[in-house]
Structure 1
């Protein structure tokens, strides 16, 4: 019995010596952890924006940057009158990667969603504030405004920028 206890204690000590600690989900991060994360996202955003700009340069359609850090296929889009909270909107959108491969066969669709009360991708929710009824726009969205560092846990991996074809129904 003493041998088993000794081996157990010894193995626990040897494991903990090399184990990298991570804060629990929702745990407290140090300032250094926050700085590392911030720098990673800044570098990733720079790389994605460069890649997206190269992609845009090879397209026949012109894309315009928005204040929220995504591109849209309509000039002056985010300068339009903004829809207010509690107004209803129905919409659908298709997701594509930058190889222009459609990610899901069926579009994501919402009926009578109320602004201020629905959870959507940041870029989609922002674009819905400015889109006209019946209008269709294409959004070029960096991963930080799409599914971020976790992906959608289905078909979209982490840190993937997206092309979103959005239509107000």
Structure 2
């Protein structure tokens, strides 16, 4: 009798354990709403910064502002007509710059920097702005936050999503012979 009872238990447990696995439902469903909300926030931020920059431009009608293809504005303080030398990838440039916010409060004073074009870290707007310059030119750039330090800031004096005004003087260009 014990053998019979043991056999029934064994057969029952084998039949119950051979059940096919069931799919589990996910604990949370990603609907893509985060990305949509983030895109909307960025559009609003961009529109707000655009208004601020347009106000600066409108308040200075004597200055001829140029819009770059990259999404920032600039004007020449000193323009060099004769020279055609502009920095290219790998060239070494020596430049001075100062950085302020849109209200004109200086963040970084006259800073001298030597930079290898597109080979070292430099925020996007300034990197693209240097490519427009010739030696001895002084240009004032207005960068929206996405062309400046964006969401992260510079971990020092520039916070998140801060548009910047940079006055840059390109001192020298040393051409790369490679």
Same fold (TM over 0.5): yes
What's the counterpart of residue 52 of structure 2? 51
| Aligned counterpart for 2:107 among listed residues 103, 109, 119 | 103
**Following the alignment from structure 1 to structure 2, what is the Cα–Cα distance between the partners of residues 148 and 125?**
14
Output one character per residue of 1:127-146: Cα deviation in whole Å (capped at 9) or x when no partner: 11110001110001101111
The answer to whether the 8 Å contact 1:81/1:130 transfers is no
Q: CA deviation at 1:159?
A: 1.2
| Structure 1 portions without partners, runs of 5+ | 1-28
Q: Does 1:84 align with 2:95?
A: no
Q: CA deviation at 1:69?
A: 0.7
The answer to whether the 8 Å contact 2:86/2:134 transfers is no
The answer to whether the 8 Å contact 1:140/1:163 transfers is yes
Output one character per residue of 1:2-27: Cα deviation in whole Å (capped at 9) or x when no partner: xxxxxxxxxxxxxxxxxxxxxxxxxx
Residues 73, 30 of structure 1: CA spacing in aligned structure 2 closer, same or farther, 3 A cutoff? Answer: farther
The answer to whether the 8 Å contact 2:153/2:161 transfers is yes
Larger Rg: 2
What's the counterpart of residue 159 of structure 1? 161
| Runs of 4+ off more than 6 Å | none
Residues 108, 32 of structure 1: CA spacing in aligned structure 2 closer, same or farther, 3 A cutoff? Answer: farther
| Aligned counterpart for 1:144 among listed residues 143, 146, 153 | 146
What's the counterpart of residue 136 of structure 2? 134
The CA RMSD over aligned residues, in Å, is 2.2
The answer to whether the 8 Å contact 1:93/1:165 transfers is yes
Query: When the two structures are superposed, what TM-score results if normalisation uses the length of structure 2?
Result: 0.69
What's the counterpart of residue 6 of structure 1? none
Figure out how many residues of one structure are paired with residues of the other and give that number. 135
Residues 81, 47 of structure 1: CA spacing in aligned structure 2 closer, same or farther, 3 A cutoff? Answer: farther
| Structure 2 portions without partners, runs of 5+ | 1-29, 172-178
